[in-house]
């Protein structure tokens, strides 16, 4: 076989392999790219132009694809992610070379960590200038290598159609993830007759992973032997579309379900079998159910069915102590997750939807005899002992917030948890919720009850502040008939506040509910717990005028022509929230909350269930 040319290696396509397809008329490279996107069913693209990508924008003006202009490429990447998470299709973002491309990196890393199908397209300097330190040149292929599922640097105009087809297939199939396509400007400007391929063509890439029948039988056998089984389910359930199969399986077997944060909505949290989510800030009862309550000699799960999860450290804490007494069955489509963080007794590399469907067939024809009555009783006791709850405590009463804003009237304090519960009530639990990163994110997970998949969109693995509002915009574009609300922190919201301009101009009615504690609350919480409350640059207000809320999001929103309102007192919250929900425009509701609250339960990083702190 002749050696592959460097060109063919970089693009991943060799011409001999390019399958025959439909031959099109002579076209410009940029038009070929845009038509290739159309052929993939792309309807929306979040794209910010520049010298190396303006050819694409010229082509987009002639396309039926709707181009949404973010005001920062990071906003565009999060919008594409929010879009993808809300509807399951690949989200598409685009930027120019150099700084445009580097501004996409956080979104790409986020999509990688949370397995989100994202196609990121970047312009590159002309091929003849690559490696010369050209104006706005960065090696985007190299920069993103560790955070992509796959990447293409296009080196031949004739490769564009096949690369785009492959990119969408890779992004959306198996374990989804981000794919980048970097295209030098001379290729965008060149002409050829495209050959439109019918199928993706990727050597060695297969997503057809099915569990062995024997292994599935073994799982049934383990359930029959177990006394205290728990289903621990993650984002894999959502991305594989297995939520309905999971619901059937849990109901048929009577096994309680805890999810990861990525899995919120994979199983209705209103279902009596739901334990909500587990881990560092998960419910105490989910953590006890998996790990036991050693202080009271109560054992945890003896069988852990880990489906579409990755044993993230925010879930496990000290990993060798995680579910110490349990037999672990781990189903994942990505072989690299198996035995990565936690060895499984029964590892299964499989599409979890297919596995659950077949497990359901098995329990239908041969029902599980056990009812796990004692286990359900124990879990009910745990739920009663430590429900998710909050109260106005001493710290709030003593706080500067009380003095500066409440005039001493504690009945008017808005606790962040309460604001989220109220939002849940007023939206009938039907809204799509996005978040920033911090305390508000954890409370949004705890105090809103998620009932359906793709309802809770949060930067879980990367934990990227600034995610919430652009993600909400992307979700709103994908699901225009849904109420989409970003429950945000004041710090996080500020990180992509410029996207209010996009929301207004593009008429994307995503709402932001800012839980404004004037602090980087989550860092404050760690300062309180581990650094004797010493503040290390975690105050966001104006130290010279602490009685003023700073910055003034209302004035800021007005500058973008986005309606906004501030609420300080509890008595005003319900009506203000209704006004936000009734609005058909983007909207900012700035809710002032005390900074003294801590997110509970809390298992400090690397610790075990013994160290769990919870609201008694």
Ligand X SMILES: Cc1ncc(C[n+]2csc(CCOP(=O)(O)OP(=O)(O)O)c2C)c(N)n1
C-beta of 323 vs 599, nearer to ligand X: 599
Closer to ligand X by CB, 282 or 489: give it.
489
How many of the chain's residues bind Mg ion (CB under 5 A)? 5
CB of 261 to ligand X, least distance (A): 14
Q: Is 522 a catalytic residue?
A: yes
Which secondary structure element, helix H or strand E, spans residue 498, and what is its range?
Answer: none
The distance of closest approach from Cβ of residue 150 to Mg ion in the complex, given in angstroms and rounded to an integer, is 37
Separation between Cα atoms, residue 421 and residue 593, nearest integer Å: 14
**74 preceded by a cis bond (ω within 30 of 0):** no
Q: Which does 279 bind (CB under 5 to 8 A by kind): ligand X, Mg ion, none?
A: none
Number of H helices, E strands in the chain: 26, 22
Chain positions 463 to 522 lying near ligand X, rule: CB under 6 A, are 463-465, 489-492, 515, 517, 519-522
432 binds, among ligand X, Mg ion, none (CB under 5 to 8 A by kind): none
CA neighbor of 464 nearest in space, from 174, 82, 156: 82
> CA torsion 340→341→342→346, rounded to 10°?
-30
439 binds ligand X (CB under 6 A): yes
Judged by beta carbon distances under 5 to 8 A according to partner kind, the member of ligand X, Mg ion, none in contact with residue 523 is ligand X
Q: Which one of 55, 245, 490, 499 is in contact with Mg ion (CB under 5 A)?
A: 490
Task: Say which of 113, 406, 442, 522 is annotated catalytic.
Answer: 522
Q: Which is nearer to ligand X, 356 or 442 (CB)?
A: 442
CA atoms within 13 A on the CB side of 453: 21
Q: Does 440 bind ligand X (CB under 6 A)?
A: yes
**Burial of residue 251 (number of CB atoms within 10 Å: 0-12, 13-18, 19+):** middle
Q: Which residue is nearest to Mg ion (CB)?
A: 489
C-alpha span between 35 and 418 (Å, rounded)? 49
Could you tell me where the DSSP H helices lie in 226-312?
A: 235-239, 243-253, 284-291
Nearer to Mg ion among residue 81 and residue 488 (C-beta) = 488
**Nearer to ligand X (CB atom), residue 67 or residue 538:** 538
Q: Which stretch binds ligand X (CB under 6 A): 45-53, 175-183, 278-286, 431-439?
A: 431-439
Q: Least distance (Å) from Mg ion to the CB of residue 520? A: 6
For the question of residue 569 being annotated catalytic, the response is no
Examine the residue annotation and report whether 73 is marked as an active-site residue of this protein: yes
User: How far is residue 486 CA from its own chain's centroid?
Assistant: 13
Minimum distance of ligand X from residue 206's CB (angstroms): 36
CB of 538 to ligand X, least distance (A): 7
Examine residue 489 and tell whether it contacts Mg ion (CB under 5 A): yes
Kindly report the backbone phi and psi dihedral angles of residue 417, in degrees, each rounded to the nearest multiple of 5, phi listed first. -65, -40
Tell me which stretch binds ligand X (CB under 6 A): 195-203, 215-223, 332-340, 432-440: 432-440
Rounded to whole angstroms, the Cα distance separating 468 from 285 reads 28
C-beta closer to ligand X: residue 274 or 517: 517
Return all residues near 448 (Cβ < 8 A) that are at least 6 apart.
420, 421, 423, 424, 429, 433, 456, 487
Q: Which does 378 bind (CB under 5 to 8 A by kind): Mg ion, ligand X, none?
A: none
Pick what 273 binds: ligand X, Mg ion, none; C-beta below 5 to 8 Å, kind-dependent. Answer: none
Question: Is residue 136 annotated as a catalytic residue, yes or no?
Answer: yes
Q: At closest approach, how far in Å is the CB of 599 from ligand X?
A: 8
Q: Which residue out of 132, 135, 425, 548 is catalytically annotated? A: 135
Strands 27-28 and 191-192, how do they pair?
antiparallel
* In the complex, least distance from residue 491 CB atom to Mg ion, rounded to whole angstroms: 5
- Where in 497-526 is the site for Mg ion (CB under 5 A)? 517, 521
Q: Give the residue among 524, 426, 431, 538 at the shortest CA–CA distance from 484.
A: 431
Which of ligand X, Mg ion, none sits in contact with 465, Cβ below 5 to 8 A by type? ligand X
Q: How far is the CB of 277 from ligand X (least distance, A)?
A: 18
* Angstrom distance (rounded) from CA 568 to CA 571: 9
DSSP 8-class letter at 5: P
- Of the residues 359, 437, 500, 510, which one makes contact with ligand X according to CB under 6 A: 437
Q: CA-to-CA distance for 451 and 459, rounded, in angstroms?
A: 19
Q: How far is the CB of 553 from ligand X (least distance, A)?
A: 12
- Is 499 labeled as catalytic in the residue annotation? no
Q: How far is CA 73 from CA 102, 103, 118, 572, in A?
A: 9, 5, 14, 36
Residues 78-97, mask of contacts with ligand X (x by CB under 6 A)? --------------------
Q: Residue 582: which residues within 8 A CB-CB, separation 6 or more?
A: none
Say which of 28, 149, 165, 185 is annotated catalytic: 185
Contact between 523 and ligand X by CB under 6 A: the answer reads: yes
Per DSSP, 557 falls in state: H
591 sits in which H/E element: strand 587-592
How many residues of this chain interact with ligand X, rule: CB under 6 A? 19
* Interacting partner of 149 out of ligand X, Mg ion, none (Cβ under 5 to 8 A depending on kind): none
**C-alpha triplet 545, 551, 555: angle, nearest 5°:** 120
Residue 522 touches which of Mg ion, ligand X, none (Cβ within 5-8 Å per kind): ligand X
* b/e per residue 20-39 (b: at least 16 CB within 10 A): ebeeeeebbbbbbbbbbbee
For the bound state, the minimum distance from the C-beta of residue 209 to ligand X, rounded and expressed in Å, comes to 33
The helix (run of H) or strand (run of E) holding residue 558 is helix 553-559
What, of Mg ion, ligand X, none, does residue 464 touch, CB below 5 to 8 Å by kind?
Answer: ligand X
b/e map 423-456, b = 16+ CB within 10 Å: bbebbebebbbbbbbbbbbbbbbbbbbbbebbbb
Q: Which residues contact 583 (CB under 8 A, 6 or more apart)?
A: 509, 511, 563
Residue 436 found at the interface with ligand X (CB under 6 A): yes
- Cα 199 from chain centroid (whole Å): 29
Q: Which does 437 bind (CB under 5 to 8 A by kind): ligand X, Mg ion, none?
A: ligand X
* 162 contact, one of Mg ion, ligand X, none, CB 5-8 Å limit per kind: none
Q: Which of residues 237-296 bind Mg ion (CB under 5 A)?
A: none
Strands 257-259 and 229-233: parallel
The C-alpha atoms of residue 82 and residue 79 are separated, in whole angstroms, by 5
Site string for Mg ion, 443-482 (x = CB under 5 A): ----------------------------------------
Handedness of CA 570, 572, 575, 577 (dihedral sign): negative
Nearer to Mg ion, 312 or 488 (CB): 488
Q: 55, 73, 245, 597: which one is catalytic?
A: 73
Q: How far is the CB of 517 from ligand X (least distance, A)?
A: 5
Binding site for Mg ion (CB under 5 A): 489-491, 517, 521
Binding site for ligand X (CB under 6 A): 436-440, 463-465, 489-492, 515, 517, 519-523
Q: Which residues are catalytic?
A: 73, 135-136, 185, 522
């Amino acid at each position: 076989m002749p050696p592959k040319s460097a060109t063919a290696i970089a693009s991943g396509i060799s011409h001999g392999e390019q399958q025959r397809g439909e031959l099109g008329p002579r076209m410009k490279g940029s038009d070929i790219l845009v038509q290739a996107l159309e052929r993939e069913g792309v309807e929306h693209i979040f794209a910010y132009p520049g010298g190396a990508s303006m050819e694409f924008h010229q082509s987009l003006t002639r396309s039926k694809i709707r181009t949404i202009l973010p005001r920062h490429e990071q906003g565009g990447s999060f919008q594409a992610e929010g879009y993808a998470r809300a509807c399951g299709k690949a989200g598409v973002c685009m930027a120019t070379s150099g700084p445009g491309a580097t501004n996409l990196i956080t979104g790409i890393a986020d999509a990688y960590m949370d397995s989100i199908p994202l196609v990121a397209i970047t312009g590159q300097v002309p091929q003849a200038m690559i490696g010369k330190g050209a104006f706005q040149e960065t090696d985007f292929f190299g920069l993103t290598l560790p955070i992509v599922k796959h990447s293409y640097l296009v080196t031949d105009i004739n490769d564009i159609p096949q690369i785009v087809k492959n990119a969408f297939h890779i992004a959306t199939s198996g374990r989804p993830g981000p794919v980048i396509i970097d295209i030098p400007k001379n290729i965008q400007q060149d002409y050829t007759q495209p050959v439109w391929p019918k199928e993706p063509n990727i050597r060695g890439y297969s997503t057809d992973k099915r569990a062995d029948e024997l292994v599935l039988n073994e799982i049934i056998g383990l359930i029959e032997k177990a006394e205290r089984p728990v289903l621990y389910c993650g984002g894999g359930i959502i991305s594989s579309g297995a939520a309905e199969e999971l619901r059937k399986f849990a109901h048929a077997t009577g096994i309680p379900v805890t999810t990861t944060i990525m899995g919120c909505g994979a199983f209705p949290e209103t279902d009596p079998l739901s334990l909500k989510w587990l881990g560092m800030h998960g419910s105490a009862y989910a953590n006890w159910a998996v790990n036991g309550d050693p202080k009271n000699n109560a054992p945890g799960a003896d069988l852990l069915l880990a489906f579409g999860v990755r044993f993230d450290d925010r879930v496990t804490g000290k990993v060798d102590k995680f579910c110490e007494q349990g037999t672990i069955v781990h189903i994942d489509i990505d072989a690299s997750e198996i035995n990565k963080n936690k060895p499984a007794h029964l590892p299964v590399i499989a599409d979890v939807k297919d596995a659950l469907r077949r497990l359901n067939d098995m329990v239908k024809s041969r029902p599980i005899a056990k009812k796990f009555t004692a286990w359900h009783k124990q879990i009910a006791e745990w739920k009663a002992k430590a429900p998710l709850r909050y109260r106005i405590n001493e710290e709030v009463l003593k706080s500067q917030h009380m003095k500066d804003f409440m005039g001493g009237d504690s009945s008017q304090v808005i606790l962040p948890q309460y604001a989220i519960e109220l939002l849940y009530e007023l939206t009938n639990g039907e809204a799509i919720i996005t978040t920033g990163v911090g305390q508000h994110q954890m409370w949004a997970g705890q105090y809103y009850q998620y009932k359906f998949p793709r309802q809770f969109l949060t930067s879980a693995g990367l934990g990227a502040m600034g995610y919430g509002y652009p993600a909400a915009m992307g979700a709103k574009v994908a699901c225009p008939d849904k109420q989409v609300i970003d429950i945000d922190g004041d710090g996080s919201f500020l990180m992509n506040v410029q996207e209010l301009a996009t929301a207004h101009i593009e008429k994307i009615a995503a709402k932001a509910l800012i839980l404004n504690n004037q602090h980087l609350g989550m860092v404050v919480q760690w300062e309180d717990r581990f650094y004797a409350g010493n503040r290390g640059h975690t105050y966001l207000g104006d130290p010279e005028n602490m009685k003023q809320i700073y910055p003034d999001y209302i004035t800021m929103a007005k500058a973008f022509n986005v309606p906004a309102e501030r609420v300080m007192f509890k008595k005003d919250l319900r009506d203000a929230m209704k006004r936000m929900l009734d609005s058909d425009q983007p909207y900012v509701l700035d809710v002032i909350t005390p900074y003294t609250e801590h997110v509970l339960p809390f298992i400090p990083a690397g610790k075990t269930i013994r160290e769990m702190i919870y609201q008694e």
